[in-house]
Amino acid sequence: MNGLDCNYFQIQHETNFSYEFPISRATMLLHLEPLSDVHQQVLNFDIEIEPVANPVLVVDSFGNRCHLLDIQSINRSSLCITSKAEVMIQNSIATLNAFDQSSWEKLNQFVERIQYWDFLSPSKRVYDCPQLKKFMAESDIQALDNPYVSLKAAAKIINQSLRYEPGSTEVNSRMEDCLEQRSGVCQDYTHILLAIGRKWGIPSRYVSGYLHLYPEDGQIITDGVSHAWCEFFLPDLGWIGIDATHNLVTDNRYIRVSVGRDYDDIAPTKGVVYGGGKSSLCVNISLAHSSNENSDWLLQGAQQ
24-55 residue pLDDT tens: 999 999 999 999 999 999 999 999 999 999 99
What tens digit of pLDDT does each residue of 206-221 get?
999 999 988 677 778 8
Q: Which of 6-20, 93-107, 163-177, 277-291 has the lowest mean pLDDT?
A: 93-107
Cis omega before residue 51 (within 30°)?
Answer: yes
pTM, two decimals, is 0.93
% of residues, the chain, pLDDT over 70: 90
At 153, is the secondary structure helix, strand, or coil? helix
Residues 115-124, mean pLDDT to the nearest whole number: 95
**Is pLDDT of 109 > 50?**
yes
Q: Do 233 and 185 belong to one domain?
A: yes
What count of other Cβ atoms lies within 10 Å of the Cβ of residue 294?
Answer: 7
Q: Do 60 and 102 belong to one domain?
A: no
Q: Do 123 and 40 belong to one domain?
A: no
Longest dimension (CA), the chain: 61
In total, how many domains does the chain have?
Answer: 2
Residue among 230, 232, 187 at smallest CA distance from 207: 230
Q: Do 133 and 240 belong to one domain?
A: yes
Give the C-alpha separation, 293 to 1, whole Å: 13
In-domain check, residue 304: no
- At 96, which amino acid appears? L
Cα–Cα distances in angstroms (integers) from residue 83 to residues 34, 190, 227, 240, 304, in the given order: 10, 25, 16, 27, 13
In-domain check, residue 220: yes
pLDDT value for 98: 60
Domain that holds residue 126: 94-265
Q: Do 106 and 207 belong to one domain?
A: yes
Give the C-alpha separation, 249 to 91, whole Å: 11
pLDDT value for 300: 61
